[in-house]
């Protein structure tokens, strides 16, 4: 997967540094040529000799003791890609501000290669406004941020902040090197719309936005410019322009206007089919008796795009429960190029999960069924299909 690619692995000083040894091994197994650079505190957690034994090269540990007169620029120029794993809060802050006070940061500043950053720290540190600001700066500067995940943390704590597993970092590195969607303009919808009943209540659904976010992030990682129109929380990732919306009408307005110059549109949002005809300006009160809420249909965003000429390559989703027959039918009637069906009643699939099990239908009714995969993997497989289809045009 990374055959012949030159990977600089930067290790900063956190407990997750022990996983950097396994990451180095996975990179070597994937065919990469790996060289490491460690901050001083990283050596408190992981022996430089361990990385040397795995990669065949002794890590760069400082500016001063190296045979090379300028180890950071030599390493930075050598790299096809640099990965910082684990990236502590301090290292993220220094990367964001360009504070070049150790050889790891200096290497990151000296490289023109893509940089993958795998944060690892306690939840409070990750959620701190300063860290969030710094990670947003890094993402805006083009870094590929992978994780952190939720799980067990140092000292017996539990929460978000755990470094993602090495295999996921290897996939992110491969993605950072892959630019097969470069130049593509992509529109993705995500999340569940909210249709107001009154200023307090709305008609909504269970969509978390994870599936749409994964599709947007994968496309951006692979070089596309992505417009993510979302009714859910959005990732701060370079290459993804976020348009937050709430209602189906707002999503339709944004999608229809941005689809005009899009190459591909992927509609992963769960859009309300009906909305209250006359939402109340004031909170409905129990004492005022049982309200009667008349519904009207929302705009069909997918149909609006499908009817255009020319139109982008169009992918719809279908949330079904039990049988996917409805998804097959939508593939043949909705005017799409692909229709991704998922059974939201199946364990690990559909709403709010990190995984999904989908079947992808074509308008002729043919289908390919994928196993239960992470939503990131579903997204990458979907982009592979779309890429192959469009290259066949
Ligand atoms: O967000 P997650 O928690 O990760 O969950 C992911 C998901 C289950 C929401 C996602 O995988 C999914 O299935 N999205 C589509 C859900 C849906 O609304 O399906 P549908 O069968 O009702 O709609 C079919 C298609 O028409 C969808 O592409 C939808 O975006 C689109 N649509 C629907 C209604 C409408 N008014 N306008 C539309 O464009």
Span 164-222, pLDDT tens digits = 999 999 989 988 887 788 889 999 999 999 999 999 999 999 999 999 999 998 898 78
Q: Which of 94-103, 202-211, 218-227, 242-251 has the lowest mean pLDDT?
A: 218-227
Q: Kindly state the percentage of the chain with pLDDT values over 90.
A: 83
pLDDT at 41 over 60: yes
pLDDT at res. 39: 96
- Whether ligand 1 lies within 6 angstroms of the CB of 208 is answered as yes
- Whether ligand 1 lies within 6 angstroms of the CB of 352 is answered as yes
Ligand 1 midpoint to CA 388 (Å): 24
Ligand 1 midpoint to CA 371 (Å): 20
Up-side HSE of residue 303: CA atoms within 13 Å toward CB? 7
pLDDT at res. 362: 98
- Whether ligand 1 lies within 6 angstroms of the CB of 342 is answered as yes
Catalytic sites, residue numbers: 205
pLDDT at res. 154: 77
Ligand 1 midpoint to CA 32 (Å): 39
pLDDT at 65 over 80: no
Q: Kindly state the percentage of the chain with pLDDT values over 70.
A: 99
Q: Are 318 and 341 in contact (CB under 8 A)?
A: yes
For ligand 1, mutation pick of 207, 259, 321, 345 (most atoms within 8 Å of CB): 207
- Whether ligand 1 lies within 6 angstroms of the CB of 302 is answered as yes
What's the CA gap between 135 and 31, in Å, rounded? 30
pLDDT at 94 over 60: yes
pLDDT at 111 over 80: yes
Q: Tell me the CATH number of domain 185-391, given options 2.60.130.10, 3.40.50.10300, 3.40.50.970, 2.60.40.10.
A: 3.40.50.10300
N- to C-terminal Cα separation, the chain = 27
pLDDT at res. 215: 96
Nearest CA owner, ligand 1 atom 36: 300
Nearest CA owner, ligand 1 atom 23: 318
CATH 3.40.50.1950 is held by the domain 6-178: yes
Q: Is the pTM of this model over 0.85?
A: no
Full strand arrangement of the beta sheet holding 115-119: 33-38, 6-11, 81-87, 115-119, 144-145
pLDDT at res. 127: 95
Q: What is the mean pLDDT of residues 148-177?
A: 87
* Domain ranges within the chain, ordered by starting residue: 6-178, 185-391
How sure is the predictor about 237, in pLDDT bands with cuts at 50, 70 and 90? confident
- Whether ligand 1 lies within 6 angstroms of the CB of 350 is answered as yes
Q: Do the two domains 6-178 and 185-391 of this chain adopt the same fold?
A: yes
């Amino acid at each position: 997967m990374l055959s012949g690619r030159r990977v600089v692995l930067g290790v900063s000083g956190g407990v997750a540094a022990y996983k950097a040894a396994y990451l180095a091994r996975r990179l070597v197994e994937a065919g990469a040529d790996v060289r490491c650079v460690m901050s001083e505190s990283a050596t408190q957690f992981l022996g430089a000799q361990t990385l040397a034994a795995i990669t065949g090269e002794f890590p760069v540990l400082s500016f001063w003791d190296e045979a090379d007169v300028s180890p950071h620029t030599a390493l930075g120029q050598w790299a096809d890609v640099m990965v910082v794993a684990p990236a502590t809060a301090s290292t993220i802050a220094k990367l964001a501000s360009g504070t070049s006070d150790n050889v790891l940061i200096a290497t990151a500043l000296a490289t023109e290669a893509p940089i993958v950053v795998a944060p690892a720290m306690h939840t409070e540190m990750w959620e701190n406004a300063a860290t969030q600001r710094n990670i947003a700066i890094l993402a805006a500067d083009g870094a590929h941020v992978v994780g952190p995940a939720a799980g067990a943390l140092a000292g017996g704590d539990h929460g978000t902040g755990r470094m993602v597993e090495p295999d996921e970092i290897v996939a992110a590195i491969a993605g950072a090197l892959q630019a097969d969607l470069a130049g593509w303009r992509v529109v993705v919808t995500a999340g569940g719309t909210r249709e107001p009943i009154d200023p307090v209540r709305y008609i909504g659904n269970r969509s978390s936005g994870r599936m749409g976010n994964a599709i947007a992030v994968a496309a951006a990682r692979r070089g596309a410019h992505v417009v993510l129109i979302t009714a859910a929380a959005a990732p701060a990732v370079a290459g993804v322009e976020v348009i937050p919306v709430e209602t189906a009408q707002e999503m339709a307005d944004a999608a229809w206007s941005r689809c005009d110059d899009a190459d591909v549109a992927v509609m992963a949002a769960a859009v309300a089919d009906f909305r209250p005809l006359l939402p109340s300006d004031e909170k409905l009160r129990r004492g005022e008796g049982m309200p009667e809420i008349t519904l009207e249909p929302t705009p069909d965003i997918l149909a609006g795009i499908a009817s255009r000429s020319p139109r982008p390559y169009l992918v719809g989703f279908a949330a079904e429960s039990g049988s996917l027959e409805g998804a097959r039918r939508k593939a043949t009637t909705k005017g799409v190029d692909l229709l991704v069906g998922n059974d939201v009643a199946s364990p690990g699939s559909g709403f709010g999960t990190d995984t999904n099990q989908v079947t992808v239908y074509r308008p002729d009714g043919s289908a390919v069924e994928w196993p239960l995969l992470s939503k990131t993997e579903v997204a990458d497989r979907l982009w592979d299909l779309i890429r192959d289809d469009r290259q066949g045009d």
